Copies of this chain bind each other. A is one copy, B any other.
């Protein structure tokens, strides 16, 4: 095993009708289906849609970091 690692970051957008926290969780759950070794996230932007004068969806743009297998 190497004494140094290389990580990759991908940018994803999670959404939720309920809360900002939930939008983050939805994005992390989706990423973890196809990516191994997900280790951290960074919130880049928070926004949302408005429907009938209320928040319809929270949308959170995240950078998600994972270790490259074998590095």
A residues apposed to B, CB below 8 Å: 3-17, 19-21, 23-32, 38-43, 45-50, 53-55, 57-58, 61, 63-65, 68, 71
User: What is the count of identical protomers in the complex?
Assistant: 12
CB neighbours of A49 from chain B (8 A): 39-40
CB neighbours of A9 from chain B (8 A): 11-13, 61
CB neighbours of A10 from chain B (8 A): 8, 11
Q: Is the CB of B53 within 8 A of A47?
A: no
CB neighbours of A50 from chain B (8 A): 28, 32, 38-41, 64
Residue in B21, B47, B61 whose beta carbon sits within 8 Å of that of A58 in the complex: B21
Distance A13 CA – B9 CA, assembled complex (angstroms): 8
